[in-house]
Amino acid sequence: MELNQGELAGRQRILGAIVLGVGVLFVFRLFQMQITTDEWKNRAERLTEEQEILKPTRGLCLDRHGEMLINNVPSYDLMVLPRFMSNIDTAALAELVQLEREELDRRLSKARRYSRYKASPLLRQMNAPQYAAISSELWRYAGLTIRTNPVRKNVFGIASQILGEYREVDREDMNRDSRYRLGDYKGKSGIEALFESDLRGTPGVRQHLVDVRNNVRNTLTEMDSLPEPGSDVTLTLDADLQRYAERLMKGKRGAIVAIEPTTGEILAFVSAPSFDGNLLTGTTRGAAYDSLAKHPWKPLYNRAVRGTYRPGSIFKMVQGLIAMEQGVISPRTHINCNRDIIGCHGAHTQDNLQRAVVHSCNPYFYEVMRRMVNQYPNLDKFDNARLGLGWWTERVEDFGFGTNLGGHVPGTRPGLVPDSSYYNKLYGRRHWTYRTIYSISIGEGELLATPLHMANLAAIIANKGWYMEPHLVRDIGGKGKPPKFQVRRDVGVQASHFEPILDAMQAVIEDQTGTGRRAYTPGIVACGKTGTVQNQNQADHSVFMALAPRTAPEIAVSVYVEYAGAGGDWAAPIAGLLLEKYLNGNVSDLDRERRVKGATYPLDPQFADLQSNLPVP
């Protein structure tokens, strides 16, 4: 039946009214939801997107032969979710986690202030035995869970001052680099810090939808990315030599640095007293750090690059080489041992260069430097000294003294090569002459160097006039040694001038009257030089520098033992043992080894109590 036009219009009006009514209802409800109440706004906010950072595996540190030095091991963080921690027996929990009741309450309160619905650490970096001790009781506490994190382990507990520390970032780290977040870890010193960008890798990301109680509602897999592991770093250190060197220096203060002369690669790097770097991880880190920091021997202080000492008589090699290059002396130049101008020791009266090195004749090198500094006889004595010292300073710096040697070893100090400006400030421009500053001619006075500088000098002599800037890295991520570690420096002295110096240094060890006789090892042709460094009213420091074998040297070493007396007494035998260990793989002179290992302070009685209270693992 067909509808007439009036009925059709009526039905259209009814349908329009229904549509209009429904539209008005929707508008009203939307207005109510968005304007008059926060209920739905809050619900929308409670379902939010959250990123889970997937931490990459940190790169390993290996020695020059591929032996592991630093790896990653699991640690366990005890996490607390405050909303599930009401009505618990805090006394029992405190006993379980071995915290004082007040300390536990403080940590729980801090976690509640952070969030009732997000977990935060209650106890950090438990090791496996600590975790095993509490794991069977965790079921009693619904709000406690375990989060596994990797920490660094120093496999042998060696070279801790130079390998450095890996620990939690602070506010300054996060402000400086936005990639770090609260709870992240990074290298804070040493190799760990220097190569942080290589070792750390690239984090991945996993996206979640979570509600206000941090419950995961959905995973947005299309936006995920996987972490990229950090690069392994192969160091130049020889783990066997490093371990042996640290054992020889146990109970002593000082440093050892050994370098491969042709490459500049550091083979051993000891600052004594050393400590096990694993002490600075885990739940006891704070107590261990305080103990190390307060110890009177300052084991946290890296003497190998931070300790600036007078180099003593080993510096006489530099004086002789510069003087020969300048034509001031020749190997045949004889100089009287005039002890009225500067003290000396031993039965000798007039030496040439070789015998002056063997006898470590102070008047000889006093006169050598005087001739170099007083080059301008037409000037008065003040300008003569000022201009001559300026020239001399530049020549000494060519040997790396007064520089950071390229800055490839973390924390390296330049030491001090005093120049004319230094003495002008100290005494006044026209109040000093060579007679004022002559102590630097024998490596004393204001001249300062680190054990790294001293080992580098031995490498220069081994190479007969050049050195590669000292460094600690052979390879990063399988890509080889970076070019910045392959810089060669020439010292501006002809190779022929090194032969008489090497002859003298060989005699220092092999001659029956040589001051370095205790470094002698049958079958190894070594060259060395002793130093006995004055130390005001306290015991002298014992110093020795050596290289071996003389033909195609493979190792150059410096040894510095504080408060140990003459260089030939303690530093020389230590160096001799190191040369034999590296070149032969073992030590034949067990009596010499026992004597060195058994020597602990008091080498000087006033230091009898300094050995005590070093923390041990």
pLDDT in tens, 135-152: 888 888 888 988 888 889
DSSP letters along 338-368, please? -TTTS---SS-SEE-HHHHHHHT-HHHHHHH
Asked if 257 and 236 touch (Cβ cutoff 8 Å), the reply is: no
Write out the H or E segment, with its range, that includes residue 575: helix 571-584
Question: pLDDT tens digits for 80-96?
Answer: 988 888 888 888 898 99
Q: Residue 149 has what DSSP assignment?
A: E
Predicted confidence (pLDDT) per residue in 342-383, tens digit: 988 878 888 999 999 999 999 999 999 999 999 888 888 899
pLDDT of residue 611 exceeding 90, the answer is no
- Please work out, in degrees rounded to the nearest 5, the angle formed at the alpha carbon of residue 486 by the alpha carbons of 483 and 489: 135
Give the domain extent around 398.
239-607
Given a cut of 90, is residue 117 above it in pLDDT?
no
Structure confidence at residue 46 (pLDDT): 53
Q: Is the pLDDT of residue 262 over 70?
A: yes
Q: Please check whether residue 545 is in contact with residue 578, taking contact to mean a CB–CB distance below 8 angstroms.
A: no
Q: What percent of the chain has pLDDT over 70?
A: 89
Hey, how many other C-beta atoms are within 10 angstroms of the C-beta on 110? 14
- Is residue 320 a part of any domain in this protein? yes
What's the pLDDT at 2? 58
Is the per-residue pLDDT at 156 higher than 60?
yes
Count of CB atoms within 10 A of residue 561's CB? 27
Six-digit token string for 229: 């592991």
Residues 247-261 have a mean pLDDT of: 95
In a domain, 399, yes or no: yes
Is residue 47 in a domain?
no
Q: Is 524 left (phi over 0), alpha (psi -120 to 50) or beta?
A: beta
Q: Name the token pair of 350.
A: 């007039």
pLDDT interval class at 490 (50, 70, 90): very high
**pLDDT for res 512:** 86
Q: 160 in a domain, yes or no?
A: no
Asked whether residue 161 is domain-assigned, the answer is no
Q: What tokens appear for 498 in the block? A: 């090194």
- Of 476 and 35, which is predicted with more confidence? 476
Instruction: Give the confidence band of 323 by pLDDT, cuts at 50, 70, 90.
Output: very high
* pLDDT band, very low/low/confident/very high, at 39 (cuts 50, 70, 90): low
Count of C-beta atoms within a 10 Å radius of residue 133: 13
Quick check: is 208 in a domain?
Answer: no
Residues whose CB is less than 8 angstroms from the CB of residue 590 and which lie 6 or more positions away in sequence, other chains included: none
pLDDT at 37: 62
Q: How many other C-beta atoms are found inside a 10 Å radius of the C-beta of residue 497?
A: 18
pLDDT at 211: 61
Q: φ, ψ for residue 467 (rounded to 5)?
A: -150, 150
**Higher local confidence (pLDDT), 514 or 331:** 331
Per-residue pLDDT, averaged over 222-226, amounts to 74
174-195 confidence digits (pLDDT tens) = 888 888 877 788 888 999 999 9
CATH number assigned to the domain comprising residue 521: 3.40.710.10
Average pLDDT over residues 386-391: 92
The reply to whether 377 falls in a domain is yes
What's 570's DSSP letter? T
Q: Which residue has the higher pLDDT, 210 or 103?
A: 103
Would you mind telling me the total number of residues written for the chain in this entry? Answer: 617
Report yes or no: 318 and 461 within 8 Å, Cβ to Cβ. no
pLDDT at 212 over 80: no
- Burial (CB count within 10 angstroms: exposed 0-12, middle 13-18, buried 19+), residue 614: middle
377-390 exposure pattern, b = at least 16 Cβ within 10 A, e = fewer: eeeeeeebbbbbbe
Distance in angstroms (rounded) separating the CA atoms of residues 154 and 274: 13
Q: How many domains does the chain have?
A: 1
- The answer to whether residue 68 is domain-embedded is no
Q: Where residue 328 falls among pLDDT bands split at 50, 70, 90?
A: very high
Give me the chain's average pLDDT, please.
87
Band of residue 608 on the pLDDT scale cut at 50, 70, 90: very low
Lookup result for tokens 């009741």:
101
Q: Is the pLDDT of residue 605 over 50?
A: no
pLDDT value at residue 416: 96
Question: Which pLDDT value is given to residue 536?
Answer: 74
CA distance 492 to 464: 10
